[in-house]
């Protein structure tokens, strides 16, 4: 369920949104004042903030700027009766992800929330799509591995899933059981032996023959650890 933090001094709007959004799998924690928001927002485990612009004890634009300074990746949708273009532009320039003037149709707000969250997910996916390690480039969107000389190295589906598990858990010891969990796919039966074979094939494609620079190391009795670093993202 999507988790939302709502700040609005209007009780009727708070009650309406708490009830309506819950029907659309969005849980709402509602606050009535800027002071309460400043106490709660830094640590709230939420996916999105709905922020009223006009408040009796604070300035919604100032709150938006303050929150984005603390949590720049947290999406903010501003709710306001102030529909003039200047307020809208200011809100967006201060980091708001969308702007919904009051009165609004609750169904439209649900659509805006989903659109903002989709955009955030798309950005996160793009940021994490291309990972570089030891001269190699692993592009998960294209399912492509590029050698340091730019050559494309073909990966089987099993090798792709295995390399994804390794780069996502770089520096962590992964047992065979854990690798089975991370790489399991519907309709395919995997065993400890299949993991060992996939690791061996992947090592061959990474020219990972051993020595101090070995990317995938075996820890006897424990499993494997990928030493390609956490990866860098362009």
Structure confidence by residue, pLDDT tens digits, 152-210: 998 887 888 899 899 888 889 999 988 988 887 644 456 667 888 989 999 998 886 55
- Residue with the bigger pLDDT between 190 and 230: it is 190
Sequence spans of domains, the chain: 2-128, 134-226
Rounded to two decimals, the pTM is: 0.57
More confident residue, 213 or 51: 51
Determine the topology of domain 2-128 in CATH: Rossmann fold (3.40.50)
* Residue 231 predicted with pLDDT over 70: no
Q: What's the farthest any 2 CA atoms get from each other in the chain?
A: 67
pLDDT of 87-135, one tens digit each?
667 777 778 888 888 888 999 999 999 999 988 776 666 656 788 888 8
Residue 230 has pLDDT above 70, yes or no: no
Q: Confirm whether 2-128 and 134-226 share one CATH topology.
A: no
pLDDT for res 186? 47
CA distance 203 to 225: 12
Residue 19, pLDDT above cutoff 70: yes
pLDDT value of residue 34: 96
CATH number for the region 134-226 comes to 1.10.10.10
For 103, counting Cβ atoms within 10 Å of its Cβ (0-12 exposed, 13-18 middle, 19+ buried), the class is exposed
In this prediction, residue 124 carries a pLDDT of 63
More confident residue, 31 or 94: 31
- The DSSP code sequence of 72-117 is TTS-EEEEES---HHHHHHHHHTT-SEEEESS--HHHHHHHHHHHH
Question: 3-class SS at 19?
Answer: helix
Which of the given ranges, 15-19, 68-72, 119-123, 157-161, has the highest pLDDT on average? 15-19
**Which of 123-127, 143-147, 151-155, 216-220 shows the lowest per-residue confidence on average (mean pLDDT)?**
123-127
Q: What percent of the chain has pLDDT over 90?
A: 44
């Amino acid at each position: 369920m999507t988790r939302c933090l709502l700040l609005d001094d209007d009780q009727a709007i708070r009650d309406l949104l708490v009830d309506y959004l819950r029907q659309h799998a969005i849980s709402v924690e509602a606050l009535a004042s800027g002071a309460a928001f400043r106490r709660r927002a830094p640590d709230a485990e939420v996916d999105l903030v709905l922020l009223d612009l006009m408040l009796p004890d604070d300035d919604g634009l100032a709150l938006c700027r303050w929150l984005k300074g603390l949590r720049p990746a947290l999406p903010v949708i501003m709710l306001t009766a102030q529909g003039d273009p200047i307020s809208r532009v200011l809100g967006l320039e201060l980091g708001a992800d969308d702007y919904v003037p009051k009165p609004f149709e609750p169904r439209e707000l649900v659509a805006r929330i989903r659109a903002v969250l989709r955009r955030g997910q798309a950005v996160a996916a793009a940021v994490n799509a291309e990972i570089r390690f030891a001269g190699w480039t692993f592009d998960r969107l294209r399912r492509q591995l590029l050698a340091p000389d730019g050559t494309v190295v073909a990966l089987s589906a099993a090798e792709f899933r295995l390399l994804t598990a390794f780069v996502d858990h770089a520096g962590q010891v992964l047992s065979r059981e854990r690798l089975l969990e991370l790489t399991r796919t519907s309709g395919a039966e995997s065993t400890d032996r299949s993991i060992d074979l996939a690791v061996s094939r992947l090592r061959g494609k990474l020219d990972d023959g051993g020595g101090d620079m070995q990317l995938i190391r075996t820890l006897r009795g424990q499993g494997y650890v990928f030493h390609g670093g956490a990866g860098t993202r362009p």
